[in-house]
Amino acid sequence: MKTRAAVALEAGRPLEVMEVNLDGPKAGEVMIEIKATGICHTDEFTRSGDDPEGLFPAILGHEGTGVVVEVGPDVKSLKPGDHVIPLYTPECRECPSCLSGKTNLCTRIRATQGQGLMPDGTSRFSMLDGTPIHHYMGCSTFSNYTVLPEIAVAKVREDAPFDKICYIGCGVTTGIGAVINTAKVEIGAKAVVFGLGGIGLNVVQGLRLAGADMIIGVDLNNDRKEMAERFGMTHFVNPKEIDGNIVSHIVEMTKTPFDQIGGADYSFDATGSTKVMRDALECTHRGWGQSVIIGVAAAGAEISTRPFQLVTGRVWKGTAFGGARGRTDVPKIVDWYMDGKIEIDPMITHTMPLDDINKGFDLMHKGESIRSVVLY
């Protein structure tokens, strides 16, 4: 069949909306009509050429939702009409990683997914002249119709609005999951969130859910303050507007008469800057501070710190998809949203048709949007 998609033809170029060929689902695969997709900074990371794994031409997009329209042979858990969220982190429930109980990073299809291919080593997408187009993060939600392996699809309730729950496909789950699954923040904690964009605001919301007492937000963009306060931030710092460095500033802010050492119990990087990642580690408390890296950094970038920071008890961690096991956890997060336990609507600041998808990237660059959502 033919479908409309925004195609990344080359690194650094705007996406081009065009008709492409899409083959039907093979064994163990399903075809999904995408109804809505968010634009995450990771899409920009790959579009720009910063992603060491980036492949072109490709159909980007990994934060979507839609309806199953066709299932291939051997598909057992899904049927046409099911409402679903595609998962860039699948959950096969059979591989050593899934069975370990220690990680959400299912390894069943990682090799082909990283090559922009379906598990059988081929692509379902091609240009009208027959040139293959790569899949992206196994999802390619910047296409009106896409094909995914069954193990990379979460079935969700049918009364949840597509234009909001698409965000659970990445940003909401990543931010809240980083707090709950990865850091396991406890009631009364002091935490710092670097970067108050589409991910960082969800970290803030996760910290409020976990019962943190002090939620410090750090961003270069003062416009982020109001929205972050709405989601539970208690203190805001713009590093450009303080005397001295951000690490000392946060250590001072977190001191108490009883504890003159200072430092956050938890910190989170949601910027992708390796300088920020270092600051985030070093502003945590001697002896027990934990810093979680969420941001993805450009090809070739490396993190560094003095080993003494770790010798003295700080812990550096990372998280992908907030440590969530997609098929199990994503339907629950949709329930949280529908039950009013978490908020999504105010963070979706802009919507647009597929034809205007590049405007969503422009708004991200200008720092004017939190999340732009493409509605099909």
Ligand X SMILES: N[C@@H](CCC(=O)N[C@@H](CSC=O)C(=O)NCC(=O)O)C(=O)O
Would you tell me which residues interact with Zn ion (CB under 5 A)?
A: 40, 42, 92, 95, 98, 106, 108, 170
Is residue 137 within the footprint of ligand X (CB under 6 A)? yes
Q: Is 86 in the site for ligand NAI (CB under 6 A)?
A: no
Q: Is it true that the peptide bond before 57 is cis, omega within 30 degrees of 0?
A: yes
Residue 98 touches which of Zn ion, ligand X, ligand NAI, none (CB < 5 to 8 A by kind)?
Zn ion
Least separation in angstroms between residue 177's CB and Zn ion is: 12
Nearer to ligand NAI, 28 or 197 (CB): 197
Of the candidates 3, 42, 141, 271, the residue annotated as catalytic is 42
Under rule CB under 6 A, which residues in 282-301 are in contact with ligand NAI? 294-296
283 labelled catalytic: no
Is residue 62 flagged as an active site residue?
Answer: yes
Q: Residue 285 or 325: which CB sits closer to Zn ion? A: 325
- Write down the catalytic residue from 29, 65, 89, 106: 106
Q: Which of 220, 296, 315, 352 binds ligand X (CB under 6 A)?
A: 296
Q: Closest residue (Cβ) to ligand NAI?
A: 197
Is residue 139 part of the annotated active site? The answer reads no
Contact region with ligand X (CB under 6 A), list: 22-30, 46-54, 146-154, 367-375: 46-54
Q: Let me know if 170 is a catalytic residue.
A: yes
Choose the binding region for ligand X from 40-48, 76-84, 178-186, 297-305 (rule: CB under 6 A): 40-48
CA–CA separation, 232 and 234 (whole Å): 6
**One-letter-per-residue 3-state SS of the chain:** CEEEEEEECCCCCCCEEEEEEECCCCCCEEEEEEEEEECCHHHHHHHCCCCCCCCCCECCCCEEEEEEEEECCCCCCCCCCCEEEECCCCCCCCCHHHHHCCCCCCCCCHHHHHCCCCCCCCCCEECCCCCEEECCCCCCCCECEEEEEHHHEEEECCCCCHHHHHHHHCHHHHHHHHHHHHHCCCCCCEEEEECCCCCHHHHHHHHHHHCCCEEEEECCCCCHHHHHHHCCCCEEECHHHCCCCHHHHHHHHHCCCCCCCCCECEEEECCCCHHHHHHHHHCECCCCCEEEECCCCCCCCCCCCCHHHHHCCCEEEECCHHHCCHHHHHHHHHHHHHCCCCCCHHHEEEEECHHHHHHHHHHHHCCCCCEEEEEC
To the nearest whole angstrom, how small is the minimum distance from the Cβ of residue 91 to Zn ion? 6
Among residues 77, 122, 131, 221, the one that binds ligand NAI under rule CB under 6 A: 221
Which CB atom, from 112 or from 309, has the smaller least distance to ligand X? 112
Catalytic residue among 3, 41, 283, 343: 41
40 binds ligand NAI, rule: CB under 6 A: yes
Tell me, yes or no, if 124 is annotated catalytic: no
Interface residue with ligand NAI among 319, 337, 348, 376 (CB under 6 A) is 319
Compute the distance between CA of residue 151 and CA of residue 297 in angstroms, rounded to an integer: 28
Residue 114 Cβ, how far from ligand X at the closest point, in Å? 6
Please list the active-site residues: 40-42, 62-63, 92, 95, 98, 106, 110, 170, 371
Residues binding ligand X (CB under 6 A): 40, 42, 46, 51, 53, 88-89, 110, 114, 137, 170, 296, 320
